[in-house]
Amino acid sequence: MKVIEHISKAKSTLFSIEILPPLKGQNINSLFQTMDELMDFSPAFVDVTYHREEYVFRDAGNGLLEKHVVRKRPGTVGICAAISNRYKVDTVPHIICGGFTKQDTEDALIDLNFVGLDNVLVLRGDPIKSEGRFKPEPDGHAYAVDLVKQVVEMNKGEYLDSDLKDVQKTNFCIGVAGYPEKHFEAPNRKSDLRFLKAKVDAGAEYIVTQMFYDNRAYFRFLEECKQAGINVPIIPGLKPLASRAQLSVIPHHFHINLPDELVQLVEKSKTEEEVRKIGVEWCIQQSKELMAAGVPVLHYYTMGKAKSTKEIAKAVF
Ligand code: FAD
């Protein structure tokens, strides 16, 4: 079922999660264990992230470095299929512009359609770590909006090869990302909102937000979206703080702020387990307030670990 159908049929706030494919070489069982623990809370859907290639430089043994291309977490489509089959839950594969030509995208969408998936979360993807800025493939998309348009075209039965006869239409429900505290490359929030609206105008049916730790950022974003004429459901994404190191890792990696009250609580804590519990309690309070405000879904970034999300879900749902 489509994410948007789950939302329209729901009588109260839904629970959903995001998981990551395991590192290359690992098996899928750890993911199944995470799923086993979280299925008790009946997630409406499960997002599976997509991880593009990275460059690593290895010692060539002659004083020079050799460049290698590696994908650390392949398997998004297979995991979606395996989880939908095993748990009878809807999965949402993330699809990105980075590393894909339009033809690659078309083929990937055909795979997703054949597997029987109804949903995609459409993203641009981050720049490759060793490159400063995002570079699309020569025949790829530069922005998520262009990838949204390609999915919409396939939903109308328009493939890249116009010679195809008797083509089947796909029927994907399209979600996109939104940033309550602004995307890090956007010159300001207004310009970021304009491009978010362009994704919705192009056919995105709902938005999932970047994580935030101060609900005021989400409520302000909601209001700004409304004023900008964005009327699709806006699903808040939450990630419980899990370690002291994340006080600097999260702002660095995700370009968001952590409220000082949370920072001080973590600074005063003595052990990593104490920090994890602070993170869980903070996320419970955020979730309760968001639920009381009537958000359609509470979406948790699990990072493949069930423990904290389970404690939160137990307290909130
Ligand atoms: P876009 O919407 O294309 O926006 C990127 C930037 O360009 C923004 O600053 C925007 O304001 C600007 N912009 C947009 N359109 C235009 C235009 N036409 N002209 C000029 N500027 C424009 N990354 C992954 O690699 N894999 C994942 O699985 C993944 N999952 C994610 C899930 C969520 C919920 C979120 C919030 C992010 C996720 N990301 C993932 C990260 C995401 O790919 C990055 O944040 C990326 O840098 C931006 O993606 P986007 O889809 O928001 O890009």
* pLDDT value for 301: 98
Average pLDDT over residues 271-277: 98
Top mutation candidate among 122, 145, 174, 195 for ligand 1, by most atoms within 8 Å of CB: 195
Q: Which structural domain, as residue segments, surrounds residue 122?
A: 3-316
Q: Which of 312, 293, 288 is nearest to 302 (CA)?
A: 312
pLDDT of residue 67: 87
Q: Is the C-beta atom of 184 inside 6 A of ligand 1?
A: no
Percent residues over pLDDT 90 in the chain = 91
Atom of ligand 1 minimally distant from the CA of 185: 9
Q: How many domains would you assign to the chain? A: 1
Confidence of residue 305 (pLDDT cuts 50, 70, 90): very high
| Closest C-alpha to ligand 1, atom 28 | 49
Q: Whose CA is nearest to atom 41 of ligand 1?
A: 125
Kindly report the CATH number assigned to the domain that includes residue 302: 3.20.20.220
| 174 token code pair | 């399209």
Task: Please say if the pLDDT value at position 80 is more than 90.
Answer: yes
User: 100 CB under 6 A from ligand 1?
Assistant: no
Share of the chain above pLDDT 70, in %: 100
Average pLDDT of the chain, as a whole number: 96
Q: Name the residue of 146, 183, 194 whose CB sits within 8 Å of the most ligand 1 atoms, as the mutation to test its pocket.
A: 183
Question: What integer is the mean pLDDT of 164-189?
Answer: 97
